[in-house]
């Protein structure tokens, strides 16, 4: 086609002719391939040319979804008729007192969610492959989604009120047919909230970025190797949107990785996984890859090159002095603005899984108790479920050990249970839909499980919106949230009970006391939300410029604290060069 010829004209002469539609993902793959082949100047000009061509083509022909192309499927009235009958049945059961009000609400919401999904599927399948709307949506990118087609040609479905609660009355019409006055008013509440949210919440996303930068600005690559033998395993998960290859790319392997059939070493311990190796690992159907990670790094300040791996802007190992903390904060914060913007497109229409965008991200980073809290089982054992008037009573019994251990939990009737009667469950199992309290996960399953829970939940929010962020960035921030321990008994150390200290300082203090024949202190691992973690940083200059200035300065003055100017902010405040060159990154550590 003319477009393909036009596109190929701007590519370097020695590149192969690209004869296929190029979506955002394909373009990224092309650019990353070109990074290995061309120098910096050629890459700059190539990216610039692609940008210019995109704008020019868009100016000449800007296309959007046409209402006429969104045809209404034939069986729509029949599907809605059947759903209406079921809804009447639920209503009469409620009037007869067979079900409670909460159950009625849950059943009718489930019914209309299923109906709108069913209709959306039928409508989509009825479109011919040559339908312009289908071509646009299948081409990827952010032009339109199946959800918008659902609203245009199937049914608008359930909407939410301004408080985020689901309104039981569904909008059975679609925009092609037009809404009744009543449906219009019901739907308008959610839509207007979407518009005001965009205006109000953009500020929240900016504030989240600021807090993330504050907690991570001192995370700079400081050394080549911290000397750790600890590692985490990246597991091939079908539930994750992001491909297995993308998740292992640019990581340093912690053990020799052998082909399961031939026993040939695919990648040796200490080597970086590049594109070729990543594809080999995927083809060999290896389920787990042991890698070094920021979570396992034991460098006392910042991170080491081995635990961080590639810098994705150069596709080479991150250089010493690279400010990876700020990069992580911006990589997570910038798409946060998109999370808030997405509300507008759906106009307050309910999606199947209510992962609530930015508020959920904030809830996780600040370690707040989730809005929809689910209890987690403190023991492994057998489940017994009993339905009472107040809620589901769940008993978990472990009779493998003596004495028999038994725990009781109560879950509201509106929740969807994640366990079945007589099922054997592991320790730490979520019992109902909703989120777990990360501090409870830490108490029951330990630090690594709590860190993994935070990262998985955060990724679920972003991936549900089609935003892809490398796990590494979340690992950097979560590591900074878990660097502190809380002193319980002081032994012969100079620490105080209840004091929060960095783990490496606690270990150094204990080592010195034990070497002198004294009694070591004991401490418990804690997690801090990003705001608290920023205020408990070693640098009082950085903490005071963030929040609660007077109390931070008062504390620093009364304790006579020193600031060793390790991070970026404290150096900016006093007008020194920031430690992002190799020489300055190492120097800051020596001064400390």
Q: What is the pLDDT of residues 105-142, one digit of tens each?
A: 889 988 998 999 899 899 888 888 888 888 888 766 55
| Residue 343 pLDDT level (bands cut at 50, 70, 90) | very low
Residues 141 and 24: beta-carbon distance below 8 Å: yes
| Residue 346 pLDDT level (bands cut at 50, 70, 90) | very low
Tell me which DSSP letter residue 284 carries.
T
pLDDT digits (tens, 9 = 90+) for 234-281: 988 766 767 888 889 999 999 988 888 888 888 899 999 988 898 888
Collapsing DSSP to helix, strand or coil, 407 comes out as strand
Which carries the bigger pLDDT value, residue 35 or residue 97? 97
Task: Please state the rounded mean pLDDT for residues 487-492.
Answer: 90
Between 57-71, 223-237, 525-539, the lowest mean confidence (pLDDT) is in 57-71
Between 156-170, 314-328, 522-536, the lowest mean confidence (pLDDT) is in 156-170
Report whether pLDDT(587) > 70: no
Distance (Å, whole) CA 474 – CA 232: 14
User: What's the pLDDT at 353?
Assistant: 39
Residues contacting residue 475 through CB under 8 Å, at least 6 positions apart: 293, 294, 295, 451, 455
Neighbouring CB atoms inside 10 A of 243's CB total: 13
User: What's the pLDDT at 142?
Assistant: 58
**CATH 1.10.150.390 in the chain, residues?**
481-591
| Residue 590 pLDDT level (bands cut at 50, 70, 90) | low
Q: Which two three-digit tokens encode residue 227? A: 């000397």
CA distances from 307 to 143, 294, 372, 449, 503 (A): 38, 5, 35, 19, 18
Q: Averaging pLDDT over each range in 136-150, 407-421, 474-488, which range is the top one?
A: 474-488
Between 237-246, 331-340, 505-514, the lowest mean confidence (pLDDT) is in 237-246
Q: Averaging pLDDT over each range in 17-31, 346-360, 509-523, which range is the top one?
A: 509-523
Report whether pLDDT(584) > 90: no
Q: Which CATH superfamily is domain 67-179 in?
A: RNA polymerase Rpb1 funnel domain (1.10.132.30)
| Residue 471 pLDDT level (bands cut at 50, 70, 90) | very high
User: What's the pLDDT at 168?
Assistant: 83
What is the greatest pairwise CA distance in the chain?
Answer: 85
Distance (Å, whole) CA 472 – CA 310: 10
Distance (Å, whole) CA 345 – CA 355: 16
Specify whether domain 481-591 bears CATH 3.30.1370.100.
no
As beta bridge partners, residue 487 has 523
Task: Please state the rounded mean pLDDT for residues 58-71.
Answer: 80
Report whether pLDDT(61) > 80: no
Report whether pLDDT(345) > 50: no
How high is the mean pLDDT of the chain?
86
Residues 383 and 346: beta-carbon distance below 8 Å: no
Residues 506 and 497: beta-carbon distance below 8 Å: no
For the chain, give the percent of residues with pLDDT over 90: 31
Report whether pLDDT(53) > 50: yes
Residue range 221-322 forms a domain whose CATH class is alpha beta
Collapsing DSSP to helix, strand or coil, 353 comes out as coil
Residues 405 and 397: beta-carbon distance below 8 Å: yes
Instruction: Provide the CA 211 distance to its chain's centre, in angstroms.
Output: 16
* Segments of 515-557 assigned E as strands: 522-525
**CATH 3.90.105.10 in the chain, residues?**
221-322
Which carries the bigger pLDDT value, residue 142 or residue 443? 443
Q: Which two three-digit tokens encode residue 9? A: 């004209």
User: What's the pLDDT at 351?
Assistant: 41
Collapsing DSSP to helix, strand or coil, 498 comes out as coil
For the chain, give the percent of residues with pLDDT over 70: 94
Which carries the bigger pLDDT value, residue 546 or residue 584? 546
As beta bridge partners, residue 435 has 373
Q: Which two three-digit tokens encode residue 23? A: 């979506």
**CATH 1.10.132.30 in the chain, residues?**
67-179
Residues 495 and 487: beta-carbon distance below 8 Å: yes
Among 496, 475, 525, CA closest to 251: 475
Residues 431 and 374: beta-carbon distance below 8 Å: yes
* Segments of 447-514 assigned E as strands: 484-489, 500-502
């Amino acid at each position: 086609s003319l477009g393909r010829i036009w596109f190929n004209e701007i590519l370097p002469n020695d590149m192969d002719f690209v004869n296929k539609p190029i979506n955002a993902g394909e373009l990224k793959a092309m650019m990353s391939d070109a990074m290995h082949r061309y120098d910096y100047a050629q890459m700059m000009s190539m990216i610039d040319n692609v940008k210019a061509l995109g704008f020019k083509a868009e100016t000449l022909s800007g296309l959007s979804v046409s209402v006429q192309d969104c045809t209404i499927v034939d069986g729509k009235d029949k599907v809605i008729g059947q759903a209406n009958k079921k809804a009447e049945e639920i209503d009469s059961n409620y009037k007869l007192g067979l079900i409670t009000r909460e159950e009625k609400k849950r059943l009718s919401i489930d019914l209309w969610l299923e109906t709108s999904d069913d209709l959306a599927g039928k409508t989509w399948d009825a479109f011919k492959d040559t339908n312009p709307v289908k071509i646009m949506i299948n081409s990827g990118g952010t032009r339109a989604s199946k959800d918008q087609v659902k609203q245009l040609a199937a049914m608008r479905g359930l909407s939410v009120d301004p408080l985020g609660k689901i309104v039981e009355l569904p909008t059975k019409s679609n925009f092609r047919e037009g809404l009744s006055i009543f449906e219009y008013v019901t739907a308008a509440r959610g839509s207007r909230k979407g518009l005001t949210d965009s205006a109000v919440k953009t500020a929240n996303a900016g504030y989240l970025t600021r807090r993330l930068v504050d907690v991570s600005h001192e995370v700079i690559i400081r050394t080549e190797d911290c000397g750790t033998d600890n590692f985490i395993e990246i597991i091939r998960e079908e539930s994750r949107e992001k491909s297995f290859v993308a998740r292992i790319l640019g990581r340093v392997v912690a053990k020799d990785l052998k082909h399961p059939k031939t026993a040939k070493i695919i990648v040796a311990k200490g080597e970086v996984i590049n594109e070729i190796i990543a594809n080999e690992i995927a083809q060999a159907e290896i389920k787990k890859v042991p890698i070094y990670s920021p979570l396992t790094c034991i460098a006392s300040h910042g991170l080491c090159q081995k635990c961080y791996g590639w810098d994705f802007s150069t596709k080479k190992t991150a250089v010493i002095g690279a400010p990876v903390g700020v990069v992580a904060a911006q990589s997570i914060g910038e798409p946060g603005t998109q999370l808030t913007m997405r509300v507008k497109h759906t106009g307050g229409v309910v999606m199947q899984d209510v992962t609530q965008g930015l508020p959920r991200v904030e809830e996780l980073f600040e370690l707040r108790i989730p809005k929809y809290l689910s209890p987690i089982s403190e023991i492994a054992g057998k489940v017994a479920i009993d339905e009472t008037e107040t809620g589901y009573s769940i008993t978990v019994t472990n009779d493998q050990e003596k004495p028999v251990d038994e725990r009781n939990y109560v879950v509201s009737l509106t929740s969807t249970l994640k366990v079945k009667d007589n099922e054997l469950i592991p320790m730490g199992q979520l019992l109902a839909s909703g989120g777990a309290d990360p501090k409870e996960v830490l108490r029951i399953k330990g630090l690594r499980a709590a860190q993994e829970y935070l990262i998985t939940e955060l990724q679920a929010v972003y991936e549900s919106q089609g935003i892809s962020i490398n796990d590494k960035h979340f690992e950097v921030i979560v590591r900074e949230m878990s660097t502190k321990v809380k002193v319980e008994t002081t032994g012969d150390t100079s620490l105080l009970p209840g004091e929060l200290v960095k783990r490496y300082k606690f270990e150094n203090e204990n080592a010195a006391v034990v070497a002198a024949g004294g009694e070591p202190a004991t401490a418990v691992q804690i997690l801090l939300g990003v705001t608290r973690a920023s205020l408990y940083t070693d640098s009082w200059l950085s903490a005071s410029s963030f929040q609660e200035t007077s109390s931070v300065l008062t504390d620093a003055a009364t304790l006579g604290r020193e600031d060793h100017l390790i991070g970026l902010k404290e150096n900016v405040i006093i007008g020194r060069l920031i430690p992002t060159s190799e020489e300055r990154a190492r120097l800051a550590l020596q001064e400390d």
